[in-house]
Amino acid sequence: MSMTVNGAAVSLPDDPRVSLLDLLREYLHLPGTKKGCNQGACGACTVLVDGERILSCLALAVQFEGRSVTTIEGLGAPGSLHPLQQAFIEHDGFQCGYCTPGQICSAIGMAQEIRRGVPSHVTADLCTETISLSHDELRERMSGNLCRCGAHNGIVDAITEVFAEEDILAEAAE
């Protein structure tokens, strides 16, 4: 019974009550994934599971056997940052930094959803095959990630800069 976290095999917890979030933070000592509400309302715990964004506080760890989890620690580290992490710094897309790992993971998952043509509440044509990363699409799709410091403008600018290029979108989907 194991899953992969940032490329490394890890055992599933014995206690079935352990959320994926608590597994990461308390058992694997990967505290980059944040706990802001523990009830699926703030998005701070967003991680990528097989490339899709999920709220790890609402996920029981034992359900993820054989799955591949990527956390903020798996995206980049100081000295070798992911382009989106670097863009967050350049655009000041955070203040306290607590919602930041969730915003970054969420943005990467979002970019892939757009590439797959998954519509959102603001998509005018539900049958369209190509959705552009417009200002409204981006804001709508990132609205599950709360930021109380009010870094929204910088977050949107950072995501726009990194994912406006189609080839980077393609890369993110791989």
Partner 1 sequence: MSISKDARQIVESAVQGVMAKAIALAPDGWIPGGEPDPLIRSRHGHVGKPVSRLDGPLKVSGTAPFAAEFPMQGMVYAALVFGTVPKGRIAAIDTEQAESSPGVLSVMTYRNAPRIAPPPVFMSGPKAAGGDNLPVMQDDAIHWNGEPVAVVLAETQEQADHASSLVHVRYQSEPAQTHFAKAKAAGTRTATFMGQPLHNEIGDAEAALVRAPVSVDVRYSTPRHNHNAIELHAVTAAWTGDELRIHDASQLVAHEAWSIAQMFGIPEDKVVVTSPFVGGGFGGKCLWQHQVLAAMAAKASGRPVRLVLSREGVYRVVGGRSLTEQRVALGADREGLLKALIHTGVTAKTASNAMPEPFIMATRSAYASETISLDVQAVELDMLANTFMRAPGESVGTFALECAMDELASALDIDPIELRVRNEPKNEPISGLPFSSRNIVEAWRTGAAKFGWDKRSSVPCSTRDGEWLVGMGCAAGTYPYYRMPGGAARITLTHDGQAIIDIAAHEMGMGTSTAQTQVAADRLGLSMDAVVFRYGDSTLPGVVLAGGSQQTAAIGAAVSAAHHSLVKALLKIVGNDSPLAGLKPDEVASGDAGLCKLGDPALHETYVSILARAGQTSVTVTAEAPAPLETQHWSMHSHAAMFCEVRVNSVTGEPRVSRFLGSFDCGRILNPKTAASQFRGGIIMGLGLALMEETQFDERTGRVMNPSLSEYHVPVHMDVPEIDVIWTDIADPHTPMGARGIGEIGITGTGAAVANAIYNATGKRIRDLPITLDKLL
Q: By the criterion CB under 8 A, which residues form the site for partner 1? A: 15, 17-18, 22, 25-26, 29-42, 44, 71-73, 75-79, 81, 85-86, 88-90, 92, 94-101, 104, 136, 138-140, 142-156
CB of 149 to partner 1, least distance (A): 5
> Is residue 35 within 8 Å of 45, Cβ to Cβ?
yes
Strand 52-55 relative to strand 8-11: parallel, antiparallel, unpaired?
unpaired
Handedness of CA 56, 62, 64, 66 (dihedral sign): positive
In whole angstroms, the minimum distance from the beta carbon of 73 to partner 1 comes to 6
Q: Minimum Å distance from CB 160 to partner 1? A: 11
Is-contact 93 123, C-beta < 8 A?
Answer: no
Of the two residues 41 and 170, which places its CB atom closer to partner 1 in the complex?
A: 41
Nearer of residues 88 and 129 to partner 1, judged by Cβ: 88
**Nearest distance from residue 144's CB to partner 1, in Å?**
8
Cβ proximity to partner 1, 50 vs 136, nearer residue = 136
Helices (H), 91-134: 100-115
> How many whole angstroms separate alpha carbon 122 and alpha carbon 118?
11
Instruction: Rank residues 79 and 127 by Cβ distance to partner 1 and give the closer one.
Output: 79
- Between CA 151 and CA 138 the distance in angstroms is 15
